[in-house]
């Protein structure tokens, strides 16, 4: 509402014509329209566009409805208790599927689950690296393994490769005999003494070209007992699960003494690789 008229004519005992344009400065003799606060005369306040300003001293409570967005219309609620999820969710232990829970409760539940994870069954839905390695090893197992003792307790099938070759079999004398001319492994032996006295099998970790019986020291010696009658034979049988590593070669000879060269005959089987 403008606070004065564009033209005002007063007739009677006296009069004046007041000219003015809306938005322009009011003339000194402008007629202004006012109001009262109940006691005193008060001017009316307008905006620069001529709109009447109204100030409400005490605003009444008004319900707010509609859609609110956190980014532009933030609402502060202590601990999130008044904010519920769009879908219902369970609290940690007391709520049911029909109980609304707050966002803060859900966050606390997630934190609790991370700190004290529950035990859950795991189903093998794929192939693990260790599984592939174990599958490769199954071809090397030749028996059923007792988990408690770790022992092989039964054969699963016939192996066609990977074992030892045929044993070395001969009537051994004091003349050196080469079992293998390169590195190998001794897994055992069976030796029979048909003589009437104790004899010895000298074992060399060498190829035969590097051995002179009676001069070259053996790497170890196997004593073979003699039969009490001297005619039925006596001997020794030995198996070695881990084997004896022979890094250069395997050469043997049978003599009457531990490191001598006097010959004697014994029948031998040497198991090697």
Q: What is the pLDDT of residues 19-50, one digit of tens each?
A: 566 667 766 666 666 777 778 877 777 777 77
In a domain, 158, yes or no: no
User: What is the reported pLDDT for 140?
Assistant: 57
**Cβ count near 199 (within 10 Å):** 25
- Separation of alpha carbons 30 and 49, rounded Å: 19
Compute the radius of gyration of the chain from its Cα atoms: 56
Phi, then psi, of 130 in degrees rounded to 5:
-70, -30
**Cβ count near 214 (within 10 Å):** 13
In a domain, 64, yes or no: no
User: What is the reported pLDDT for 81?
Assistant: 47
Split into its structural domains, the chain has a count of 2
Where the chain has pLDDT below 70, the residues are: 1-23, 26-33, 56-57, 59, 66-99, 124-162, 229-231
- Separation of alpha carbons 49 and 36, rounded Å: 23
Q: Give yes or no for a contact between 26 and 32, defined as CB atoms under 8 angstroms apart.
A: yes
Domain boundary (55, 72, 96) is at: 55
Where b means 16+ CB within 10 Å and e means fewer, 249-261 reads bbbbbbbeeeeeb
In a domain, 137, yes or no: no
Q: SS3 of 227, please?
A: coil
In a domain, 154, yes or no: no
β-partners of residue 79 are none
Q: Give yes or no for a contact between 271 and 167, defined as CB atoms under 8 angstroms apart.
A: yes
Phi, then psi, of 268 in degrees rounded to 5:
-130, 150
- The boundaries of the domain holding residue 208 are 168-272
User: What is the reported pLDDT for 159?
Assistant: 58
Domain boundary (21, 37, 55) is at: 55
In a domain, 117, yes or no: no
Domain boundary (31, 55, 79) is at: 55
How long is the chain?
273
For residue 246, with 0-12 CB atoms within 10 Å meaning exposed, 13-18 middle and 19 or more buried, which class applies? buried
In a domain, 103, yes or no: no
- Separation of alpha carbons 95 and 93, rounded Å: 6
User: What is the reported pLDDT for 145?
Assistant: 60
Phi-psi region of 214 (alpha: psi -120 to 50; beta: other; left: phi over 0): left
Give 97-105 contacts, CB < 8 A, sequence gap 24+: 104/79, 104/80, 105/80
In a domain, 72, yes or no: no
The counts of H helices and E strands in the chain are 2, 14
In a domain, 90, yes or no: no
């Amino acid at each position: 509402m403008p606070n004065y008229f564009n033209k005002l004519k007063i007739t009677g005992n006296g009069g004046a014509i007041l000219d003015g344009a809306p938005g322009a400065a009011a003339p000194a003799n402008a007629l202004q329209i006012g109001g009262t606060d109940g006691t005193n005369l008060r001017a009316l306040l307008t905006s620069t566009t001529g709109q009447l300003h109204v100030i409400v001293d005490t605003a009444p409570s008004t319900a707010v409805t509609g859609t609110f967005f956190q980014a532009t219309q933030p609402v502060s609620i202590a601990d999130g208790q008044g904010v519920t999820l769009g879908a219902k969710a369970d609290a940690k232990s007391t709520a049911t599927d029909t109980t609304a829970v707050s966002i803060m409760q859900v966050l606390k539940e997630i934190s609790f689950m991370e700190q004290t994870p529950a035990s859950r069954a795991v189903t093998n839905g794929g192939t693990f690296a260790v599984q592939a390695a174990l599958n490769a090893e199954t071809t090397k197992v030749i028996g059923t393994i007792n988990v408690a003792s770790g022992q092989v307790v039964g054969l699963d099938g016939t192996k066609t490769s990977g074992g030892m070759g045929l044993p070395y079999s001969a009537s051994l004398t004091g003349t050196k005999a080469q079992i293998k001319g390169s590195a190998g492994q001794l897994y055992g032996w069976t030796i029979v003494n048909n003589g009437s006295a104790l004899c010895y099998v000298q074992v060399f970790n060498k190829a035969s070209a590097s051995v002179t019986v009676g001069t070259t020291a053996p790497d170890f010696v196997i004593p073979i007992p003699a039969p009490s009658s001297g005619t039925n034979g006596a001997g020794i049988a030995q198996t070695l699960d881990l084997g004896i590593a022979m890094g250069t070669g395997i050469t043997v000879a049978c003599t009457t003494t531990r490191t001598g060269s006097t010959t004697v005959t014994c029948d031998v089987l040497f198991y090697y690789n």
